[in-house]
Amino acid sequence: MDSQDTGSLAGRRARGRPRDWDDKTAQNTIKSLDRAMEVFEHLSKAQGKALTTIASEMNQSPATVYRVLVTLEGRGLVEFDKTDQTWNIGAKAFVIGSRFLRRTSLVDRARPILRKLMNDTGETANLGAERDGSVLFLSQVETHSNIRAFFPPGALSPMHSSGIGKALLAEFDPGTFAAWKADHALEAFTPHTITDPDALEVDLARIRARGYAIDGEEKNLGMRCIAAPVFDANTEAVAGISVSGPTSRVGEVDVPRLSDAVMHAAKALTDAIGGSSPR
Q: How far apart are CA 57 and CA 45, in angstroms?
A: 12
Q: How far apart are CA 169 and CA 157, in angstroms?
A: 13
Q: pLDDT band for position 105 (50/70/90)?
A: confident
Q: pLDDT band for position 253 (50/70/90)?
A: very high
Share of the chain above pLDDT 70, in %: 85
pLDDT value, residue 100: 62
Tens digits of residue pLDDT in 43-95 = 887 778 999 999 999 999 999 999 999 999 999 999 999 998 999 998 888 77
Q: How far apart are CA 174 and CA 63, in angstroms?
A: 46
CATH 3.40.50.720 fits 27-92, yes or no: no
Sorted by where each begins, the domain ranges of the chain are 27-92, 104-272
User: What is the assigned CATH class of domain 104-272?
Assistant: alpha beta
Q: How far apart are CA 270 and CA 124, in angstroms?
A: 20
Residue 15 has pLDDT above 70, yes or no: no
* pTM for this entry: 0.67
Q: pLDDT band for position 98 (50/70/90)?
A: low
Contact 169, 180 (CB under 8 A): yes
* E-assigned strand segments in the chain: 78-81, 86-89, 124-131, 134-141, 156-158, 213-216, 223-231, 237-246
| Mean local confidence (pLDDT), 211-220 | 95
> One fold for both 27-92 and 104-272?
no
